[in-house]
Amino acid sequence: MVGQQETINLFKSKAVTEKFVDAGVQLKRMSFFALVALIGTGALVGMLYVAVRTTYENRVSEKERLSQTLRQYNTREGLFLSVKERVGVVKKVDATRKPWVQILDATARVVTPPSLQAIVQDTEDRMALNIKVASLEETVAMAQTVLALHDENRIKSPQLISLTINKDGVIQFGFSFIPVF
Amino acid sequence: MSKLTRIIRPYQGVLFPVILLAFCAGVFLFGVVPAVKGIFTLREESVTLSGQISTIRQKVTLLEALDESTLLNQLSTLTSAVPTENSPAQVLSTIDAVSVQTGTTIVSVEIGSPGVIATDSAKRQTSEEKQLGTRTAPFIVTLEGTMDQVRAFLSQVAEVRQFLRVSTFTISFNEEGIAKATIGMTGFFTPLPVSIGTEAQELTPLTEDEEAYVGQVARIPIALVSEQPIVAPAPGPFRPDPFSP
């Protein structure tokens, strides 16, 4: 007997086959749903793509049409941009100009020629007056006018730069201030 | 072969579904996902396009409403205030006209850099020039007259169409009360633009303030000697700037 049966099959072939059959059924079901889902998703994505693509192409052609119209107005646009840009530039330039005449008028309240020898306005916007008067009273009166201008906020930081009295009694002095515009 | 068949036989039932699942996964990963990404990209581009269309439409509407001759007049007004190029002749003409109007005598006019070899783009801009968006041309005017005449000159020179700025001045008086004024002045000029930017660049109309300001500049008298009228600017041809983003 033993001599006739040379191999023994130890696998439980029936149980294994049942397991595979169950798994196979489940997998079939899953693969079916996956396929259906894929077809559904594909169709949805396809429709969405067509819709988005159509919108995109419509917009491209709309842009091209408007661009062509815009190109007809190149000169007008250039002129408009030039005006727009230049208004800003001219305004800025205008704002840097100072009404020096106002300050000259203010200084005329303090002193006029021939007592006024010179007016110097340097780059730091500080103005200096060189004055020559015959009496101390005149100097005091001028100083009072300078203080009044300061109080009126027409000038700021007034400073006496120099004061010389020569033997003839002629007083020469200079003072500086910062004009307020 | 029979050995392979024997191995496969137990899995025969699951082989097809597994292959189908793998196929579905493959199609999903390499087909559907990139397609969805593509849709999003296309949608974003479409939104960008929509914005550009809106801008261009707005520009077209704005430009259709503008009148070229009005624009040219406005530009002419503004270029007479700040010319397109450094023109010492025009500055001298303005100074001369103001001098004649005020009765002062011009002793000398010293122009800083009447003509240099470098082009405007090669010259280094000062910080003020960058701030103002213009080039500057400094010059010094020496003139004589009474105090009232000098005062009138300083007043008039600020009230002429070509914008000149008084930067420094020294006024001295001789025994007869005649004033000698040395006035440091600055002229301004800036060339016209040659490019108009990109299509998608927004265009904002002139504000009421800007319109009013152009009108205000137009009312400022032009002080030039009669032989030299203001030349209208010759703008263009304007082309889109290829370097604009």
Query: In this complex, is the C-beta atom of B51 within 8 Å of any C-beta atom belonging to chain A?
Result: no
The residue from A57, A79, A97 where one domain ends is A97
> Using one digit for the tens of pLDDT, what is the confidence trace for A98-146?
888 988 888 888 898 888 999 999 777 789 999 999 888 888 899 899 9
> Using one digit for the tens of pLDDT, what is the confidence trace for A80-104?
999 999 999 999 999 999 888 988 8
Q: Best interface-test mutation with A: which of B24, B66, B195 has the largest number of A CBs within 10 A?
A: B24
A97 contact residues in B (CB cutoff 8 A): 158, 163, 165-166
Residue A64 has pLDDT above 60, yes or no: yes
Does A158 share its domain with A137? Answer: yes
Contact B28 A112 (CB under 8 A): no
The residue from A38, A73, A97 where one domain ends is A97
Does A20 share its domain with A49? Answer: yes
pLDDT at res. B187: 92
Task: Look at A17 and A47; give whichever has higher pLDDT.
Answer: A47
Burial of B71 (0-12, 13-18, 19+ CB in 10 A): buried
pLDDT at res. A1: 45
Contact A93 B27 (CB under 8 A): no
> Which H or E element spans position B103?
none
Contact A117 B173 (CB under 8 A): yes
Q: Best interface-test mutation with A: which of B41, B45, B53 has the largest number of A CBs within 10 A?
A: B53
DSSP classification of residue B11: G
Q: What is the pTM of this model?
A: 0.75
Is the omega angle on the peptide bond into residue B83 within 30 degrees of 0, that is, cis?
no
DSSP classification of residue B16: H
A129 contact residues in B (CB cutoff 8 A): none
Does A112 share its domain with A85? Answer: no
Q: Which of residues 94-153 of A touch B (CB under 8 A)?
A: 94, 96-101, 104-105, 112-114, 116-123
Does A115 share its domain with A43? Answer: no
Query: In this complex, is the C-beta atom of B22 within 8 Å of any C-beta atom belonging to chain A?
Result: no
Query: In this complex, is the C-beta atom of A69 within 8 Å of any C-beta atom belonging to chain B?
Result: yes
CA B233, CA B76: separation in Å to the nearest integer?
Answer: 6
The residue from A55, A71, A97 where one domain ends is A97
DSSP-derived pairing of the beta strands B135-145 and A155-165: unpaired
Query: In this complex, is the C-beta atom of A180 within 8 Å of any C-beta atom belonging to chain B?
Result: no
Q: What is the number of H-type helices and E-type strands within chain B?
A: 8, 4
A117 contact residues in B (CB cutoff 8 A): 172-173
CA B141, CA B104: separation in Å to the nearest integer?
Answer: 11
Does A160 share its domain with A77? Answer: no
Does A120 share its domain with A158? Answer: yes
| Helix, strand, coil percentages, rounded to 5, for chain B | 50, 15, 35
Residue A2 has pLDDT above 50, yes or no: no
Does A137 share its domain with A87? Answer: no
pLDDT at res. B6: 77
Q: What is each CA distance from A106 to A147, A162, B10, B112, in whole angstroms? A: 12, 21, 114, 31
As given in the structure block, the two tokens for residue A53 are 């693509």
How many CB pairs lie under 8 A apart between chains A and B? 234
| Residue ranges, chain B, pLDDT below 70 | 1, 10, 13, 113-123, 224-245
B131: Cα within 13 Å, side-chain hemisphere = 7
Q: What is each CA distance from A8 to A2, A4, A160, in whole angstroms? A: 11, 11, 128
CA angle B217, B220, B222 (to 5 degrees): 115
Q: What is each CA distance from B129 to A42, B117, B135, B184, B187, in whole angstroms? A: 62, 19, 6, 17, 12
Does A172 share its domain with A109? Answer: yes
Does A81 share its domain with A28? Answer: yes
pLDDT at res. B227: 47
pLDDT at res. A131: 92
Does A66 share its domain with A152? Answer: no
Does A116 share its domain with A155? Answer: yes
Q: Give me the number of domains chain A comprises.
A: 2
Q: Which of residues 90-149 of B touch A (CB under 8 A)?
A: 131-134, 147
**In chain B, beta strands by DSSP E:** 105-111, 135-145, 164-173, 179-189
Query: In this complex, is the C-beta atom of A169 within 8 Å of any C-beta atom belonging to chain B?
Result: no
- Mean pLDDT over the full length of chain A: 87
Does A93 share its domain with A105? Answer: no
ipTM score of the complex? 0.78
Domain that includes residue A35, residue range = 1-97
A164-173 average pLDDT score: 88
Query: In this complex, is the C-beta atom of B29 within 8 Å of any C-beta atom belonging to chain A?
Result: no
Residue A105: which CATH number? Answer: 3.30.1360.100
